[in-house]
Structure 1
Amino acid sequence: MSDSIHGHQVMELMLSLGRAISKQELEQLMASHFGEQARYHTCSASEMDAQELIGFLEARGKFIESSDGIATAADKICNH
């Protein structure tokens, strides 16, 4: 199994797209980029799967929702 991926890396991946995506598309992107079995963590949570991380980030206001899906912004990524 691979090392745990920080949520910041997922948000940076979203930024690199330059567009909003659906949560399902984000989950597929995470699987293709980080691996199907990847586990994720943040500064305050660990051992999450892709769906759990997406829900965690959403609950903390890290996404910008639109009719096209979700996106994020650089200022939503903490720098610690």
Structure 2
Amino acid sequence: MSQSVHGHNVLNMLLAENASYTLVSLKQAVVAEYGEDVRFYTCSQQDLTFEALLAFLLDRQKVVQDGETIAANRERMCSH
């Protein structure tokens, strides 16, 4: 059975001090922390793969991509 983790945990990884991630390194960090089979949920979505969560966060501009680098967008994050 896969672990279910809130998407905010990934945002918090991006917000961590001195954190600098590419798409590849972020996925590696998520797999190292939660395992290969992790699924994510948000306030409105359930059972998301890492790729689906990332697409969701990019679409809602909660994360931004600049070339290979990905970062959390503090202005678009909810506060719960």
- The answer, yes or no, to whether TM exceeds 0.5 is yes
What is the TM-score normalised by the length of structure 1? 0.82
Residue identity in the other structure for 1:61: Q
| In 1, Cα distance between equivalents of 2:51 and 2:17 | 19
Q: Deviations over 1:34-54 (max 9, x none)?
A: 111111010110101111111
User: 1:62 matched to which residue of 2?
Assistant: 62
Q: Which runs of 5+ in 2 are unaligned?
A: none
Mapped to 1, the partners of 2:44 and 2:66 lie a distance apart of 27
The structure with higher relative contact order (CA 8 Å, sep 6+) is 1
- Give the RMSD, CA atoms, in angstroms: 1.9
More strand by share: 2
Tell me the equivalent position of 1:72.
72
Residue 3 of structure 1 deviates from its aligned partner by: 3.5
Aligned residues: 80
| Structure 1 runs (4+) greater than 6 angstroms displaced | none
> Do the aligned partners of residues 20 and 67 (structure 1) sit closer, same or farther apart at CA in structure 2, a change above 3 Å counting?
farther
Calculate the TM-score normalised by the size of structure 2: 0.82
